Amino acid sequence: MEPVLEVRDLQKYFPVTRGIRQKTGGMLKAVDGISFDLYRGETLGLVGESGCGKTTAGRTIVRLYEPTGGTVRLHGQDIFSLSEKEMLPVRRQIQMIFQDPYSSLNPRMTVGDTITEALEIHGLAAGRRNERVGELLDMVGLGHEMAGRYPHEFSGGQRQRIGVARALAVEPQVIICDEPVSALDVSIQAQVINLLEELQEKLGLTYLFISHDLAVVRHISHRVAVMYLGKLVEVAPSDQIYDNPLHPYTEALMSAIPIPDPKVESQRQRIILTGDVASPIDLPPGCRFASRCPKVEDRCRQEEPAMVDVGGGHLVACHLVG
């Protein structure tokens, strides 16, 4: 099967400026060479802790940040070599849903205007835009009669639905969801997760689902990619990553997540990580997780492990595996 989106060796570095003269003092390697494929109709979960570069990766893929290196191909077409004008049809195919439903909507525009703007830019639904806005609002479960309202009249969960409607307006194939439910209460979170799942089935959408919440990611994703300090450490089908995590970081991450069941919790063995997280500015040679890894060996501190395929679509970058 042909992938919809191929990400190869994606890099995004930010210059670090220090002091009053803004002297450049090194590079912060937020995303430092990640590769994966995204297939039609699937959800790939991208997980990791704060500062690991998952949000930067999502934003660089759609060129909200200019990439430092690597390629992203959409249906085989390299989108990093396109001009801003040539990007317009590409942006119609890849859309984004943001984390914060409070700051990602313009407070001075009605919901209808926000969605209409997207239609206008791409020249869609000419002559029947109001009707189309109504359809979209119905599709995300808000109801077409909400078009005239302003963002402040909605709750967090409803605003996230508006964000979904805006993304869907241009009929994209791929949606990058950046922590779309993290700001929501649990009872509302489930509503939005279900909506995303239903829309995927109905419209054949492909999701890159970025989140720090592994329980949510396991639920919604077909495959999961685990990121640590700018690199992927493990990629596997979502049941595999839970039943058989191979990278010590994935293992620690899984064991750290509390499960809402006192019987299960009392039986669990936690792997408690010690040591400090390495700085993304002065990265040590070798494996980035070595400073906190409970299974660290000498070569881990010298040589960076390569990603290897252990079979069944399960990839891992660790010297101790394979």
Partner 1 sequence: MALLEIRNLRTSFFTHLGEVKAVDGVSFQVGEGEAVALVGESGCGKSVTALSIMGLVPPPGKVIGGEIIFAGEDLTKLSGPKMRHLRGNVLSMISQDPMTSLNPVLNIETQLGEGLRLHKGMDAKAARERVLELLNLVGIPEAERRLRQYPHEFSGGMRQRLMIAMALACSPKMLIADEPTTALDVTIQAQIIELLKELKSRLSSSILLITHDMGIVAGLCQRVIVMYAGRVVETGSVEAVFDDPQHPYTWGLLRSLPRLDQRKERLVPIPGQPPDLLASPQGCPFAPRCRWAMRICVKQMPEMITTAKGTVACWLQELGPQAVKRAREEVA
Q: Among 7-15, 127-135, 263-271, 307-315, which window interacts with partner 1 (CB under 8 A)?
A: 263-271
Q: Which of 78, 86, 153, 265 binds partner 1 (CB under 8 A)?
A: 265
> Toward partner 1, which CB reaches closer, 68 or 200?
200
Q: Among 38-46, 78-86, 161-169, 209-217, which window interacts with partner 1 (CB under 8 A)?
A: 209-217
Q: Does 320 bind partner 1 (CB under 8 A)?
A: no
Q: Which of 216, 226, 235, 317 binds partner 1 (CB under 8 A)?
A: 216
Q: Does 272 bind partner 1 (CB under 8 A)?
A: yes
The secondary element (H helix, E strand) that includes residue 45 is: strand 43-47
> By CB under 8 A, what part of segment 26-45 binds partner 1?
none
Alpha helix stretches (DSSP H) within 39-143: 54-61, 84-93, 111-121, 129-139
158/161 Cα distance (integer angstroms): 5
57/42 Cα distance (integer angstroms): 18
Q: Does 201 bind partner 1 (CB under 8 A)?
A: no
77/215 Cα distance (integer angstroms): 34
Alpha helix stretches (DSSP H) within the chain: 54-61, 84-93, 111-121, 129-139, 156-168, 186-203, 214-220, 238-243, 248-256, 262-267
How many residues does the structure list for the chain?
322
Q: Does 197 bind partner 1 (CB under 8 A)?
A: yes
What the block records as the tokens of 207 is 């999701």
Contact 227, 54 (CB under 8 A): yes
Q: Which of 95, 99, 173, 189 binds partner 1 (CB under 8 A)?
A: 189
192/175 Cα distance (integer angstroms): 14
> Toward partner 1, which CB reaches closer, 83 or 266?
266
Q: Does 191 bind partner 1 (CB under 8 A)?
A: yes
Contact 90, 73 (CB under 8 A): no
Q: Which of 187, 202, 306, 311 binds partner 1 (CB under 8 A)?
A: 187
Q: Does 273 bind partner 1 (CB under 8 A)?
A: yes
Q: Does 295 bind partner 1 (CB under 8 A)?
A: no
Q: Does 153 bind partner 1 (CB under 8 A)?
A: no
> Toward partner 1, which CB reaches closer, 203 or 277?
277
